[in-house]
Structure 1
Protein backbone atom coordinates (compact mmCIF):
# COMPACT_ATOMS: atom_id res chain seq x y z
CA UNK A 1 0.00 0.00 0.00
CA UNK A 2 1.14 3.59 -0.39
CA UNK A 3 2.21 5.65 -3.33
CA UNK A 4 5.80 4.88 -4.16
CA UNK A 5 7.42 6.86 -6.97
CA UNK A 6 7.43 5.09 -10.31
CA UNK A 7 10.76 4.09 -11.82
CA UNK A 8 9.57 5.55 -15.11
CA UNK A 9 8.75 9.01 -13.78
CA UNK A 10 10.54 11.94 -15.32
CA UNK A 11 12.04 14.91 -13.46
CA UNK A 12 9.16 17.03 -14.77
CA UNK A 13 6.64 14.66 -13.19
CA UNK A 14 8.33 15.00 -9.82
CA UNK A 15 8.11 18.81 -9.79
CA UNK A 16 5.30 20.25 -7.66
CA UNK A 17 2.50 21.93 -9.56
CA UNK A 18 1.19 25.36 -8.63
CA UNK A 19 -1.42 23.70 -6.41
CA UNK A 20 1.00 21.44 -4.56
CA UNK A 21 2.48 22.40 -1.20
CA UNK A 22 6.03 23.65 -1.33
CA UNK A 23 8.68 21.77 0.61
CA UNK A 24 10.25 25.06 1.68
CA UNK A 25 7.38 25.95 4.01
CA UNK A 26 6.11 29.00 2.10
CA UNK A 27 2.83 27.25 1.37
CA UNK A 28 0.40 27.21 4.35
CA UNK A 29 0.44 23.41 4.29
CA UNK A 30 4.23 23.25 4.55
CA UNK A 31 6.79 23.22 7.30
CA UNK A 32 5.99 26.72 8.53
CA UNK A 33 2.94 25.27 10.33
CA UNK A 34 4.77 22.35 11.95
CA UNK A 35 6.45 23.26 15.25
CA UNK A 36 9.88 21.92 16.12
CA UNK A 37 10.63 20.67 12.61
CA UNK A 38 14.38 19.93 12.33
CA UNK A 39 16.57 20.75 9.36
CA UNK A 40 17.26 17.95 6.92
CA UNK A 41 20.80 17.64 8.27
CA UNK A 42 19.52 17.31 11.84
CA UNK A 43 16.92 14.75 10.77
CA UNK A 44 19.59 12.66 9.04
CA UNK A 45 21.63 12.70 12.25
CA UNK A 46 18.58 11.71 14.29
CA UNK A 47 17.75 8.91 11.86
CA UNK A 48 21.28 7.50 12.16
CA UNK A 49 20.88 7.40 15.95
CA UNK A 50 17.47 5.69 16.08
CA UNK A 51 17.39 2.13 17.37
CA UNK A 52 16.44 -0.38 14.69
CA UNK A 53 14.12 -3.12 15.92
CA UNK A 54 11.22 -5.24 14.73
CA UNK A 55 7.71 -4.04 15.56
CA UNK A 56 6.44 -5.13 18.96
CA UNK A 57 3.14 -6.91 19.45
CA UNK A 58 -0.17 -5.03 19.16
CA UNK A 59 -1.41 -6.93 22.21
CA UNK A 60 -3.23 -4.61 24.60
CA UNK A 61 -3.45 -1.71 22.15
CA UNK A 62 -6.45 0.57 21.82
CA UNK A 63 -6.76 4.24 20.94
CA UNK A 64 -8.15 4.80 24.43
CA UNK A 65 -4.66 4.07 25.76
CA UNK A 66 -3.69 7.44 24.19
CA UNK A 67 -6.28 9.91 25.54
CA UNK A 68 -7.05 12.71 23.05
CA UNK A 69 -8.10 15.41 22.35
CA UNK A 70 -7.15 17.01 25.69
CA UNK A 71 -8.40 20.37 26.97
CA UNK A 72 -5.98 23.20 26.20
CA UNK A 73 -7.70 26.10 27.98
CA UNK A 74 -10.07 28.83 26.73
CA UNK A 75 -12.64 26.14 25.86
CA UNK A 76 -10.21 24.74 23.26
CA UNK A 77 -9.03 21.18 22.83
CA UNK A 78 -6.00 19.91 20.94
CA UNK A 79 -7.88 19.54 17.66
CA UNK A 80 -8.98 23.18 17.66
CA UNK A 81 -5.49 24.39 18.53
CA UNK A 82 -4.04 22.50 15.56
CA UNK A 83 -6.74 23.82 13.23
CA UNK A 84 -6.02 27.38 14.36
CA UNK A 85 -2.28 27.20 13.81
CA UNK A 86 -2.54 25.22 10.55
CA UNK A 87 -4.92 27.55 8.75
CA UNK A 88 -5.20 31.11 7.48
CA UNK A 89 -7.88 33.58 8.64
CA UNK A 90 -9.31 31.00 11.03
CA UNK A 91 -12.32 32.24 12.97
CA UNK A 92 -13.65 30.39 16.00
CA UNK A 93 -16.95 30.50 17.85
CA UNK A 94 -17.43 30.87 21.61
CA UNK A 95 -16.76 27.15 22.02
CA UNK A 96 -13.44 27.44 20.13
CA UNK A 97 -14.72 25.55 17.10
CA UNK A 98 -13.27 26.66 13.77
CA UNK A 99 -16.22 28.07 11.82
CA UNK A 100 -14.26 29.48 8.90
CA UNK A 101 -10.76 29.61 7.51
CA UNK A 102 -8.51 28.28 4.78
CA UNK A 103 -6.24 25.27 5.02
CA UNK A 104 -3.87 23.47 2.68
CA UNK A 105 -3.49 19.76 3.39
CA UNK A 106 0.21 18.86 3.43
CA UNK A 107 -0.16 15.32 2.12
CA UNK A 108 -2.21 15.96 -1.01
CA UNK A 109 -2.01 19.74 -1.52
CA UNK A 110 -5.79 20.14 -1.45
CA UNK A 111 -7.17 23.49 -0.33
CA UNK A 112 -10.01 23.27 2.19
CA UNK A 113 -12.43 25.90 3.46
CA UNK A 114 -14.48 23.72 5.82
CA UNK A 115 -12.81 22.38 8.96
CA UNK A 116 -15.19 19.41 9.03
CA UNK A 117 -13.36 18.04 5.98
CA UNK A 118 -10.11 17.85 7.95
CA UNK A 119 -8.69 15.26 10.30
CA UNK A 120 -5.93 15.95 12.78
CA UNK A 121 -3.30 13.40 11.87
CA UNK A 122 -0.74 11.97 14.26
CA UNK A 123 2.41 12.08 12.15
CA UNK A 124 3.57 8.91 13.92
CA UNK A 125 0.28 7.01 14.33
CA UNK A 126 -0.70 5.84 17.78
CA UNK A 127 -0.61 2.17 16.78
CA UNK A 128 2.86 2.60 15.25
CA UNK A 129 4.07 4.24 18.45
CA UNK A 130 2.62 1.35 20.47
CA UNK A 131 4.53 -1.17 18.37
CA UNK A 132 7.77 0.80 18.66
CA UNK A 133 7.95 1.39 22.40
CA UNK A 134 4.88 3.27 23.68
CA UNK A 135 3.40 0.02 25.01
CA UNK A 136 5.80 0.42 27.94
CA UNK A 137 4.95 4.06 28.68
CA UNK A 138 2.76 5.28 31.53
CA UNK A 139 -0.65 6.57 30.46
CA UNK A 140 0.33 10.20 31.11
CA UNK A 141 3.17 10.01 28.58
CA UNK A 142 0.88 8.45 25.99
CA UNK A 143 -1.58 11.31 26.50
CA UNK A 144 1.24 13.84 26.04
CA UNK A 145 2.28 12.08 22.82
CA UNK A 146 -1.27 12.09 21.46
CA UNK A 147 -1.68 15.82 22.17
CA UNK A 148 1.82 17.10 21.42
CA UNK A 149 1.63 20.72 20.23
CA UNK A 150 5.37 21.35 20.62
CA UNK A 151 6.85 18.84 18.18
CA UNK A 152 5.85 18.10 14.53
CA UNK A 153 3.43 15.35 15.55
CA UNK A 154 0.03 16.90 14.78
CA UNK A 155 -1.19 18.40 11.51
CA UNK A 156 -4.48 19.11 9.77
CA UNK A 157 -4.94 17.09 6.58
CA UNK A 158 -7.84 16.00 4.43
CA UNK A 159 -9.80 13.18 6.00
CA UNK A 160 -9.38 11.07 2.87
CA UNK A 161 -5.56 11.06 2.97
CA UNK A 162 -5.47 10.56 6.73
CA UNK A 163 -7.66 7.49 6.45
CA UNK A 164 -5.64 6.16 3.53
CA UNK A 165 -2.51 6.49 5.65
CA UNK A 166 -4.12 4.79 8.65
CA UNK A 167 -1.47 3.44 11.02
CA UNK A 168 1.04 2.73 8.27
CA UNK A 169 4.66 3.83 8.46
CA UNK A 170 6.65 5.44 5.63
CA UNK A 171 7.77 2.03 4.39
CA UNK A 172 4.11 1.30 3.57
CA UNK A 173 2.61 4.71 2.77
CA UNK A 174 4.01 7.98 1.45
CA UNK A 175 2.18 11.29 0.85
CA UNK A 176 0.86 11.36 -2.73
CA UNK A 177 2.59 14.71 -3.35
CA UNK A 178 6.29 13.94 -3.60
CA UNK A 179 7.23 17.57 -2.93
CA UNK A 180 6.19 17.04 0.70
CA UNK A 181 8.32 13.97 1.35
CA UNK A 182 11.18 16.03 2.76
CA UNK A 183 8.95 17.67 5.38
CA UNK A 184 7.19 14.37 6.13
CA UNK A 185 10.44 12.47 6.72
CA UNK A 186 11.92 15.23 8.86
CA UNK A 187 8.79 15.36 11.01
CA UNK A 188 8.46 11.57 11.35
CA UNK A 189 12.14 11.16 12.25
CA UNK A 190 12.00 14.01 14.75
CA UNK A 191 9.01 12.54 16.59
CA UNK A 192 10.61 9.09 16.76
CA UNK A 193 13.83 10.64 18.09
CA UNK A 194 12.05 12.88 20.62
CA UNK A 195 10.17 9.95 22.12
CA UNK A 196 12.99 7.43 21.68
CA UNK A 197 10.83 5.12 19.60
CA UNK A 198 12.36 2.40 17.47
CA UNK A 199 12.24 2.08 13.68
CA UNK A 200 12.21 -1.04 11.56
CA UNK A 201 14.95 -1.56 8.98
CA UNK A 202 12.47 -1.00 6.12
CA UNK A 203 11.15 2.15 7.80
CA UNK A 204 14.64 3.57 8.23
CA UNK A 205 15.56 2.80 4.63
CA UNK A 206 12.46 4.56 3.32
CA UNK A 207 13.03 7.59 5.56
CA UNK A 208 16.57 7.81 4.24
CA UNK A 209 15.24 7.85 0.67
CA UNK A 210 12.64 10.46 1.52
CA UNK A 211 15.23 12.67 3.22
CA UNK A 212 17.26 12.47 0.02
CA UNK A 213 14.55 14.56 -1.64
CA UNK A 214 15.55 17.47 0.64
CA UNK A 215 18.79 18.03 -1.25
CA UNK A 216 22.04 18.85 0.47
Structure 2
Protein backbone atom coordinates (compact mmCIF):
# COMPACT_ATOMS: atom_id res chain seq x y z
CA UNK A 1 0.00 0.00 0.00
CA UNK A 2 1.39 3.44 -0.92
CA UNK A 3 2.17 6.13 1.67
CA UNK A 4 -0.64 8.25 0.19
CA UNK A 5 -3.17 5.44 0.60
CA UNK A 6 -2.02 4.68 4.14
CA UNK A 7 -2.36 8.36 5.06
CA UNK A 8 -5.82 8.57 3.50
CA UNK A 9 -7.00 5.48 5.34
CA UNK A 10 -5.59 6.75 8.64
CA UNK A 11 -7.40 10.05 8.13
CA UNK A 12 -10.63 8.18 7.40
CA UNK A 13 -10.21 6.12 10.54
CA UNK A 14 -9.61 9.21 12.69
CA UNK A 15 -12.62 11.01 11.21
CA UNK A 16 -14.83 8.01 11.82
CA UNK A 17 -13.55 7.64 15.36
CA UNK A 18 -14.43 11.26 16.04
CA UNK A 19 -17.87 10.86 14.51
CA UNK A 20 -18.52 7.75 16.55
CA UNK A 21 -17.48 9.52 19.74
CA UNK A 22 -20.03 12.22 18.97
CA UNK A 23 -22.70 9.68 18.17
CA UNK A 24 -22.91 10.84 14.56
CA UNK A 25 -22.26 7.47 12.93
CA UNK A 26 -23.99 4.52 14.54
CA UNK A 27 -21.93 1.32 14.44
CA UNK A 28 -22.00 -2.19 15.81
CA UNK A 29 -19.30 -4.78 16.17
CA UNK A 30 -19.68 -7.69 13.79
CA UNK A 31 -21.22 -10.66 15.56
CA UNK A 32 -21.63 -13.88 13.55
CA UNK A 33 -24.23 -16.40 14.72
CA UNK A 34 -23.51 -19.50 16.74
CA UNK A 35 -20.72 -18.27 19.04
CA UNK A 36 -20.79 -20.68 22.02
CA UNK A 37 -20.47 -19.89 25.69
CA UNK A 38 -17.15 -20.42 27.41
CA UNK A 39 -17.97 -23.77 29.02
CA UNK A 40 -19.35 -25.12 25.74
CA UNK A 41 -16.28 -23.92 23.84
CA UNK A 42 -13.98 -25.61 26.36
CA UNK A 43 -15.96 -28.83 26.04
CA UNK A 44 -15.87 -28.67 22.25
CA UNK A 45 -12.13 -27.97 22.28
CA UNK A 46 -11.53 -30.97 24.54
CA UNK A 47 -13.42 -33.13 22.06
CA UNK A 48 -11.41 -32.14 18.99
CA UNK A 49 -9.03 -34.75 17.59
CA UNK A 50 -5.40 -33.70 17.98
CA UNK A 51 -3.20 -34.47 14.99
CA UNK A 52 -0.12 -33.09 13.31
CA UNK A 53 -1.09 -30.56 10.69
CA UNK A 54 -1.32 -32.09 7.24
CA UNK A 55 0.29 -30.99 4.03
CA UNK A 56 -0.77 -28.07 1.84
CA UNK A 57 0.02 -30.17 -1.23
CA UNK A 58 -2.81 -30.00 -3.72
CA UNK A 59 -4.50 -27.03 -2.04
CA UNK A 60 -6.20 -24.36 -4.13
CA UNK A 61 -8.84 -21.78 -3.18
CA UNK A 62 -10.76 -22.94 -6.23
CA UNK A 63 -11.36 -26.24 -4.41
CA UNK A 64 -13.50 -24.21 -1.95
CA UNK A 65 -15.97 -22.41 -4.25
CA UNK A 66 -16.84 -19.29 -2.27
CA UNK A 67 -19.06 -16.26 -2.46
CA UNK A 68 -21.87 -18.46 -3.71
CA UNK A 69 -25.26 -16.95 -4.53
CA UNK A 70 -27.47 -16.70 -1.44
CA UNK A 71 -30.59 -15.19 -2.99
CA UNK A 72 -31.32 -13.08 -6.04
CA UNK A 73 -28.21 -11.09 -6.93
CA UNK A 74 -26.69 -11.39 -3.44
CA UNK A 75 -23.73 -13.65 -2.77
CA UNK A 76 -22.17 -14.70 0.53
CA UNK A 77 -19.76 -11.76 0.77
CA UNK A 78 -22.51 -9.23 0.19
CA UNK A 79 -24.77 -10.99 2.67
CA UNK A 80 -22.13 -10.81 5.42
CA UNK A 81 -21.37 -7.17 4.64
CA UNK A 82 -25.04 -6.36 5.15
CA UNK A 83 -25.31 -8.53 8.27
CA UNK A 84 -22.23 -7.11 9.98
CA UNK A 85 -22.66 -3.45 9.02
CA UNK A 86 -24.96 -0.65 10.13
CA UNK A 87 -27.24 1.29 7.76
CA UNK A 88 -25.92 -0.66 4.79
CA UNK A 89 -27.39 0.45 1.47
CA UNK A 90 -27.02 -1.79 -1.58
CA UNK A 91 -27.56 -1.21 -5.28
CA UNK A 92 -29.58 -3.38 -7.68
CA UNK A 93 -26.60 -5.75 -7.99
CA UNK A 94 -26.51 -6.15 -4.17
CA UNK A 95 -23.18 -4.32 -3.87
CA UNK A 96 -22.89 -2.17 -0.73
CA UNK A 97 -22.82 1.51 -1.69
CA UNK A 98 -22.76 2.92 1.85
CA UNK A 99 -22.76 1.84 5.48
CA UNK A 100 -20.49 1.56 8.49
CA UNK A 101 -18.47 -1.48 9.54
CA UNK A 102 -16.68 -1.96 12.88
CA UNK A 103 -13.92 -4.56 12.71
CA UNK A 104 -13.67 -6.49 16.01
CA UNK A 105 -10.18 -7.75 15.22
CA UNK A 106 -8.58 -4.29 15.47
CA UNK A 107 -11.34 -1.91 16.59
CA UNK A 108 -11.26 0.11 13.36
CA UNK A 109 -14.41 1.48 11.70
CA UNK A 110 -14.91 1.91 7.97
CA UNK A 111 -17.45 3.57 5.70
CA UNK A 112 -16.37 1.92 2.44
CA UNK A 113 -17.04 -1.74 1.74
CA UNK A 114 -13.76 -1.87 -0.20
CA UNK A 115 -11.88 -1.42 3.12
CA UNK A 116 -13.55 -4.54 4.54
CA UNK A 117 -12.75 -8.20 3.91
CA UNK A 118 -14.91 -11.18 4.80
CA UNK A 119 -12.62 -13.39 6.86
CA UNK A 120 -12.93 -17.15 6.94
CA UNK A 121 -12.29 -17.54 10.68
CA UNK A 122 -10.77 -20.95 10.02
CA UNK A 123 -8.91 -20.21 6.78
CA UNK A 124 -9.55 -22.40 3.77
CA UNK A 125 -5.92 -23.57 3.61
CA UNK A 126 -5.95 -24.35 7.35
CA UNK A 127 -9.13 -26.39 6.86
CA UNK A 128 -7.44 -28.27 4.00
CA UNK A 129 -4.51 -29.17 6.26
CA UNK A 130 -6.78 -30.29 9.08
CA UNK A 131 -9.13 -32.57 7.21
CA UNK A 132 -10.91 -30.80 4.35
CA UNK A 133 -8.58 -32.25 1.73
CA UNK A 134 -10.63 -35.48 1.96
CA UNK A 135 -13.99 -33.71 1.50
CA UNK A 136 -16.04 -33.45 -1.64
CA UNK A 137 -16.04 -30.14 -3.46
CA UNK A 138 -19.69 -29.69 -2.44
CA UNK A 139 -18.79 -29.97 1.25
CA UNK A 140 -15.89 -27.56 0.84
CA UNK A 141 -18.27 -25.10 -0.84
CA UNK A 142 -20.67 -25.37 2.10
CA UNK A 143 -17.78 -24.70 4.49
CA UNK A 144 -16.54 -21.68 2.53
CA UNK A 145 -20.03 -20.12 2.49
CA UNK A 146 -21.24 -21.13 5.97
CA UNK A 147 -23.64 -18.47 7.24
CA UNK A 148 -25.12 -20.63 9.99
CA UNK A 149 -22.10 -20.50 12.31
CA UNK A 150 -19.24 -18.14 13.22
CA UNK A 151 -17.07 -18.91 10.19
CA UNK A 152 -17.51 -15.63 8.30
CA UNK A 153 -16.98 -12.12 9.68
CA UNK A 154 -16.38 -8.63 8.25
CA UNK A 155 -12.99 -7.21 9.29
CA UNK A 156 -10.40 -4.66 8.19
CA UNK A 157 -8.89 -5.87 4.92
CA UNK A 158 -5.19 -5.51 5.73
CA UNK A 159 -5.68 -7.22 9.11
CA UNK A 160 -7.28 -10.16 7.35
CA UNK A 161 -4.39 -10.22 4.91
CA UNK A 162 -1.84 -10.27 7.76
CA UNK A 163 -3.65 -13.29 9.22
CA UNK A 164 -3.44 -15.23 5.98
CA UNK A 165 -3.88 -18.95 6.67
CA UNK A 166 -2.36 -18.91 10.15
CA UNK A 167 -3.89 -20.70 13.14
CA UNK A 168 -4.13 -19.16 16.66
CA UNK A 169 -0.67 -20.43 17.60
CA UNK A 170 0.72 -18.22 14.83
CA UNK A 171 -1.71 -15.29 14.71
CA UNK A 172 -4.22 -13.65 17.02
CA UNK A 173 -6.41 -10.57 16.50
CA UNK A 174 -4.52 -7.33 17.30
CA UNK A 175 -7.12 -6.55 20.00
CA UNK A 176 -6.37 -8.96 22.86
CA UNK A 177 -9.82 -8.17 24.28
CA UNK A 178 -11.25 -10.14 21.35
CA UNK A 179 -9.12 -13.26 21.88
CA UNK A 180 -11.79 -15.00 23.96
CA UNK A 181 -14.48 -14.54 21.31
CA UNK A 182 -12.09 -15.45 18.51
CA UNK A 183 -11.12 -18.69 20.25
CA UNK A 184 -14.79 -19.56 20.76
CA UNK A 185 -15.48 -18.96 17.07
CA UNK A 186 -12.48 -20.97 15.89
CA UNK A 187 -13.28 -23.87 18.20
CA UNK A 188 -16.97 -23.95 17.17
CA UNK A 189 -16.07 -24.05 13.48
CA UNK A 190 -13.58 -26.89 13.92
CA UNK A 191 -16.07 -28.77 16.11
CA UNK A 192 -18.97 -28.29 13.67
CA UNK A 193 -16.96 -29.40 10.66
CA UNK A 194 -14.99 -32.20 12.30
CA UNK A 195 -11.57 -30.68 11.69
CA UNK A 196 -8.48 -31.57 13.71
CA UNK A 197 -6.22 -29.30 15.76
CA UNK A 198 -2.49 -29.62 16.25
CA UNK A 199 -1.01 -29.47 19.74
CA UNK A 200 0.31 -25.88 19.51
CA UNK A 201 -3.03 -24.68 18.14
CA UNK A 202 -4.96 -26.41 20.94
CA UNK A 203 -2.66 -24.91 23.58
CA UNK A 204 -3.14 -21.42 22.12
CA UNK A 205 -6.91 -21.86 22.11
CA UNK A 206 -6.88 -23.01 25.75
CA UNK A 207 -4.89 -19.93 26.72
CA UNK A 208 -7.23 -17.62 24.81
CA UNK A 209 -10.33 -19.22 26.33
CA UNK A 210 -8.69 -18.72 29.72
CA UNK A 211 -9.17 -14.97 29.19
CA UNK A 212 -12.97 -15.31 29.02
TM range (shorter): 0.7 to 0.9
Which of 59, 71, 74 matches 2:72?
Answer: 74
Give the superposition deviation at 1:58: 1.0
Which of 135, 141, 144 matches 1:143?
Answer: 141
> Alignment partner of 2:210: what SS?
helix
- Give TM-score, length-normalised by structure 1: 0.85
Distance 1:151 1:174 in 2: 20
Quote the residue 1:28 is aligned against.
28
Give the superposition deviation at 1:74: 2.0
- Give TM-score, length-normalised by structure 2: 0.86
- Unpaired segments ≥5 residues, structure 2: 1-26
Quote the residue 1:84 is aligned against.
82
RMSD after superposition: 0.9
Give the superposition deviation at 1:28: 2.0
Distance 1:178 1:187 in 2: 15
Distance 2:45 2:181 in 1: 14
Give the superposition deviation at 1:186: 0.2
Runs of 4+ in 1 over 2 A off after TM superposition: none
Quote the residue 1:3 is aligned against.
none
Distance 1:139 1:43 in 2: 28
1:145-173 CA-partner distances (Å, limit 9, x unpaired): 00000010000101110000000000000
- Unpaired segments ≥5 residues, structure 1: 1-26
Quote the residue 1:196 is aligned against.
194
Give the superposition deviation at 1:57: 1.1
Matches within 5 A, 1:103-118: 103-118=101-116
Quote the residue 2:122 is aligned against.
124
Distance 2:210 2:171 in 1: 17
Distance 1:172 1:29 in 2: 24
